[in-house]
Amino acid sequence: MDNKVVVITGASSGIGAALAELLGRRGASLGLVARRADALRAAAARSGDSAFAIVADVTRRDDIHRAVEHAIGRFGHIDVWVNNAGQGITRSPSQLTDEDVDEMMRINVKSVLYGTQEVLPHFQSRGAGHVINVSSMLGRVPFATFRSAYSASKHYVNALTAMFRDEIRETHPGIQISLVSPGVVKTEFGLNARHGGPDSRQLPGGQSPEEVAAVIAGVIESRLPDVYTFAGAHERVADYYASIGTNA
C-alpha cells in the first residue's frame, strides 16, 4: 500500500474511519472526505501523517469536484476512490414519503454517481485507477422491510457499478470499478438512520468496522470486481431467491 493515494468518502466514522486508519498504518496517502469537520480531522489525525481532511458534502457535485482537485493538488494523483458515504432509513415501503425516497437517492446514489463521474476523467487521463463502491447485503436481498428505500438505493448502486464497469473497460481496461457488500456492521448506522432505528451494534451476526475495512483493503490489492465481506453471503443470496420461487 506504500505510495498509493486513496480518497475515502464518509471517512469521519464507522467503516470509512476504520479503513483510513488501516490504510494509514500500511503507508497509504489519504484524502478523507466528510461533512463533520471535527470528527473528520480527528479521523485524519489517527490515520498518519499522510492523511488530510477534505470537508465536503458528498451529495453536492461541486463539493466532490473540489475534493478531487484537492487530493490531486496535495498528492499529484489519485489511485483509488472509495465511495463509502451513506445513510439508512427506518420505514416500511407502504409508509415512504417523497422526501424519504429523495433523501435515500441523494445520499446513497448521487454521492456514488458524483464521486465516480468526477474522478473518472483523472483516471482516464492516467489510464489507471480504481473506484470502490460500498454497497450492502440489502442491495442483493431486500429482506429487511423497515430498510425499504435504503435497500432500493443500494440495488441502484449495484446496477450503476456494474454498468460503469462495463462501459469503462471497453476503452480503459486499466480502470476497475468494484463493489463491496457488507452485512450488519457494528457502527452507529442504525441510530443515524432517517427516522432513527435499532442500534446496529446490538444486532446479531454483525461485523466490526475494522473487519469490513480489512476486506476493502484486500479489494484495493486484488482489484476484484464484486466482494462480500462475510462468509456464507453467496449462499444466503441464493437461498433467498430460491425461496421466492417456492413461495410463488
DSSP, residue by residue, 55-77: E--TTSHHHHHHHHHHHHHHHS-
- Non-local (6+) Cβ contacts of 157 within 8 A are 108, 109, 112, 133, 135, 139, 179
C-alpha cell belonging to residue 144: 429487511
Among 92, 33, 89, residue whose Cα is nearest residue 63: 33
**Catalytically annotated residue among 150, 156, 228, 241:** 150
For the question of residue 150 being annotated catalytic, the response is yes
Find the farthest-apart pair of alpha carbons in the chain and give their distance in angstroms, rounded: 57
Residue 55's beta-bridge partner residues?
Answer: 34
Catalytic residues: 150
